[in-house]
């Protein structure tokens, strides 16, 4: 089996069949508009074509297979997955990445991961990943970087359906119209799975259902003014199992298993979200423009298993003035986000209301002279918390600042060097102020400190007709990195801060068109994440590695144009082993196993229709998420397959 995996890794570094030429792509989601070669940041851009060719079931799958981002189901929940980038760990890494869709922030005010499964892959124009950057534009939480998702606004129209193993079925559509005055698009998706894993003693499965749709309208009444509005919703119904012991995982990861925390009850959650947005852009003169956008979102999370219901309300707005000439660009504005969670009474806690409100001002500039570009930006942000229940009325606040300074030098028309510094921060989410003891009773933990990071990135980019190469190396120094201390005796567990820590690594991306029939795409990341100083409950973690961080992360895809209309793609994903999520002492007897998956797909495309088929985890590799000893959530542990049809009209 090891030989097969090594062969797949070697083979997959020969990649992707294309008949097009590569060129620098324009970065659309940042405050300063530039392209990949002139950027002062380490950035990855994936287009609608890249996403369509991958035939993924959701955005998490694309990120995990094709990009430098790591995605893993959050404690078994496939619809709200944990994310990691640049060594912040699969446990809390997602809270150090800001995720936006068309500028709307998806990060939650509590410890629920961003709901990317609510975005249909068919609706996406591109995904832009800015690593160790984006704090000025996006603020709170951008320590590792930013993932910006932009949806389509073109005139394409398509319908896609597929079916697969274990009762998997999906139908999606995108309908668009665009002319000089009006742009309107609608998209939607319905997905269901009968489940793979047994989650109870009577043969119940981890089945799931998803419905999502969106509508966006843009109208240009005059050449200076654009008006836009949109609405979206998602409905999720998911059942997922608990942890299992290692011998159960090795024997059969699809079984119910013995939950490490004393219960074998599965989790049943229904999650609803509704969002609306409106905005306008006004070109004041040839150099100056104004952009205003506002969003409102309401969510309800209902954990039926535990009779736990929480209602959320989010209101956000951003106003930006942009001044641009050939040599100088300046963007300045205000950014606010008000988040509220109303938690209903449960058998463990009384009803309470908690809010987290962010207000920021920012300015970003970019000066270009000849082959040189200099970027400088600053953000000042206040974060205010309030917590109320029958016995408490608590408040806390923080004043934080972020800064970015970057330099780019064009060595030639095809290559460039860049250097970037960023000072970033992460204010605690509202769950960090509470603890749950071993009996399940919730109590106030106390307000904890924000984390602060200083990062330096140096990189090189070379883009020619048949090769796109990007190299970068980085170092990140942190104070008060936020984490959850899991006391082995279950008596002193709490949310707290790591006094000092650091991370460093190397990122390599290469897409090479070998010929008209073969091309190569390789994403490799090396990272080290070290705890410099931390002591908790008599345990000294100084010098230990941050748990949940794999030192090596490899994604590689091979595309072969078999005939004029037929393409075959082979993708290999590999992550080295790591310490279990709660193993800050690096002393547990069990480690997070290496993650391995080989996926193959075939596409027949002619005129306006396309047939496709895909097999995930071809060699039936076992994969899991280790929380601690004998507390394992199985993930992508068996072979699955889908086949479908896409029609464009």
Q: In the structure, what pLDDT confidence band is assigned to residue 305 with cuts at 50, 70 and 90?
A: confident
Task: State both tokens at 182.
Answer: 């009006």
The set of residues, in sequence order, having a beta carbon less than 8 Å from that of 296 and lying 6+ positions away, is 275, 276, 277, 313, 314, 315
- 524-535 pLDDT tens trace: 999 999 999 999
Is 125 contained in some domain? yes
- 156-199 pLDDT tens trace: 999 999 999 999 999 999 999 999 999 999 999 999 999 999 98
The set of residues, in sequence order, having a beta carbon less than 8 Å from that of 27 and lying 6+ positions away, is 33, 34, 35, 36, 39, 43, 45, 128
Q: What is the mean pLDDT of residues 47-61?
A: 94
The set of residues, in sequence order, having a beta carbon less than 8 Å from that of 58 and lying 6+ positions away, is 79, 116, 117, 121
Is 605 contained in some domain? yes
- pLDDT greater than 70 at residue 292: yes
Question: What pLDDT was estimated at residue 10?
Answer: 38
Q: In the structure, what pLDDT confidence band is assigned to residue 552 with cuts at 50, 70 and 90?
A: very high
- 448-495 pLDDT tens trace: 899 999 999 999 999 999 999 999 999 999 999 999 998 887 778 888
- pLDDT greater than 80 at residue 436: no
Q: What is the mean pLDDT of residues 434-444?
A: 61
Is 154 contained in some domain? no
d(CA 400, CA 450): 9
Average pLDDT of the chain?
92
Question: What pLDDT was estimated at residue 15?
Answer: 36
- pLDDT greater than 50 at residue 9: no
Is 153 contained in some domain? no
Give residue 105's region: left, alpha or beta (phi > 0; psi -120 to 50).
beta
d(CA 457, CA 406): 9
Domains: count for the chain: 1
Question: By percentage, how much of the chain surpasses pLDDT 90?
Answer: 84
Q: In the structure, what pLDDT confidence band is assigned to residue 447 with cuts at 50, 70 and 90?
A: confident
Is 631 contained in some domain? yes
d(CA 641, CA 600): 10
The set of residues, in sequence order, having a beta carbon less than 8 Å from that of 575 and lying 6+ positions away, is 70, 550, 552, 553, 554, 594, 595
Question: What pLDDT was estimated at residue 14?
Answer: 37
Q: What is the mean pLDDT of residues 87-98?
A: 96
d(CA 550, CA 93): 12
Question: By percentage, how much of the chain surpasses pLDDT 70?
Answer: 94
Q: Tell me the DSSP string of 236-257.
A: EEEEE---B-HHHHHH-TTS--
Q: Which of residues 200 and 637 earns the better pLDDT score?
A: 637
Question: What pLDDT was estimated at residue 467?
Answer: 96
Question: What pLDDT was estimated at residue 493?
Answer: 84
Domain that holds residue 299: 2-147+182-648
Is 615 contained in some domain? yes
Q: What is the number of residues in the chain?
A: 649
Is 232 contained in some domain? yes
pTM: 0.94
Is 165 contained in some domain? no
- pLDDT greater than 80 at residue 346: no
Q: What is the mean pLDDT of residues 374-403?
A: 93
d(CA 81, CA 113): 6
Question: What pLDDT was estimated at residue 13?
Answer: 38
CATH number at residue 520: 2.40.170.20
């Amino acid at each position: 089996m090891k030989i097969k995996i090594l062969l797949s890794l070697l083979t997959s570094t020969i990649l992707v069949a294309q008949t097009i030429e590569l060129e620098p792509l324009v970065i659309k989601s940042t405050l300063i508009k530039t392209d990949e070669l002139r950027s002062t940041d380490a950035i990855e851009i994936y287009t609608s074509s890249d996403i369509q060719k991958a035939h993924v079931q959701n955005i998490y799958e694309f990120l995990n297979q094709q990009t430098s981002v790591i995605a893993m189901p959050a404690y078994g929940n496939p619809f709200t997955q944990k994310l990691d980038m640049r060594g912040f760990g699969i446990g809390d890494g997602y809270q150090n990445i800001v995720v936006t869709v068309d500028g709307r922030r998806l990060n939650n005010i509590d410890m629920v991961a961003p709901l990317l499964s609510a975005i249909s892959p068919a609706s996406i124009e591109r995904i832009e990943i800015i690593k160790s950057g984006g704090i000025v534009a996006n603020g709170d939480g951008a320590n590792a970087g930013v993932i910006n998702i932009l949806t389509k606004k073109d005139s394409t129209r398509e319908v896609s359906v597929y079916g697969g193993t274990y009762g998997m079925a999906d139908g999606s559509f995108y309908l668009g119209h665009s002319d000089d005055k009006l742009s309107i698009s609608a998209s939607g998706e319905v997905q269901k799975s009968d489940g793979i894993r047994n989650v109870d003693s009577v043969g119940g499965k981890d089945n799931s259902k998803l419905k999502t749709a969106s509508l966006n309208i843009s109208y240009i009444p005059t050449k200076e003014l654009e008006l836009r509005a949109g609405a979206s919703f998602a409905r999720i119904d998911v059942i997922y199992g608990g942890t299992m012991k290692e011998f159960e995982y090795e024997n059969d990861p699809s079984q119910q298993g013995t939950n490490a925390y004393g219960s074998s009850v599965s989790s049943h959650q229904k999650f609803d979200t509704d969002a609306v947005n409106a905005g306008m852009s006004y070109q004041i003169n040839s150099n100056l423009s104004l952009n205003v956008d506002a969003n409102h979102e309401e969510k309800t999370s209902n954990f039926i298993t535990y009779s736990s219901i929480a209602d959320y309300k989010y209101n956000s707005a951003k106003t930006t003035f942009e001044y641009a000439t050939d040599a100088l660009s300046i963007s300045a504005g205000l950014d606010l986000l008000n988040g509220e969670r109303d938690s209903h009474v449960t058998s463990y806690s009384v009803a309470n209301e908690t809010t987290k409100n962010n207000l920021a001002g920012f300015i970003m500039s970019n000066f270009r002279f000849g082959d040189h570009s200099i970027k400088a930006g600053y953000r000042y942000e206040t974060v205010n918390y309030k917590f109320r229940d029958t016995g408490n009325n608590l408040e806390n606040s923080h004043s934080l600042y972020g800064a970015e300074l970057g330099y780019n030098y064009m060595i030639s028309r095809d290559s460039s060097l860049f250097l970037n510094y960023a000072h970033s921060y992460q204010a605690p989410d509202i769950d960090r102020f509470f603890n749950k003891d071993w009996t399940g009773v919730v109590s106030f933990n106390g307000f904890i400190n924000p984390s602060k990071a200083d990062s330096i990135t140096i990189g090189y980019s070379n883009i020619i007709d048949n090769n796109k190469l990007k190299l970068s190396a980085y170092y990140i120094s942190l104070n008060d990195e936020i984490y959850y201390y899991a006391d082995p005796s279950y008596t002193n567990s709490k949310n707290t801060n790591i006094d000092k820590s650091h991370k460093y690594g190397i990122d390599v991306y290469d897409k090479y068109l070998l010929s008209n029939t073969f091309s190569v795409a390789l994403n490799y990341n090396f990272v080290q994440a070290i705890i410099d100083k931390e002591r908790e409950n008599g345990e000294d973690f100084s010098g230990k590695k941050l748990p949940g961080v794999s030192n090596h992360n490899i994604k590689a895809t091979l595309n072969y144009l078999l005939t004029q209309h037929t393409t075959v793609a082979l993708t290999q994903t590999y992550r080295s082993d790591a310490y279990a999520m709660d193993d800050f002492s690096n002393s547990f007897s069990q480690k997070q196993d290496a993650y391995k998956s080989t996926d193959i797909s075939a596409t027949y495309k002619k005129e306006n229709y396309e047939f496709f088929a895909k097999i995930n985890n071809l060699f039936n590799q076992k994969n899991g998420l280790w929380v601690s000893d004998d507390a394992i959530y199985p993930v992508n542990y068996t072979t699955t397959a889908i086949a479908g049809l896409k029609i464009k009209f």
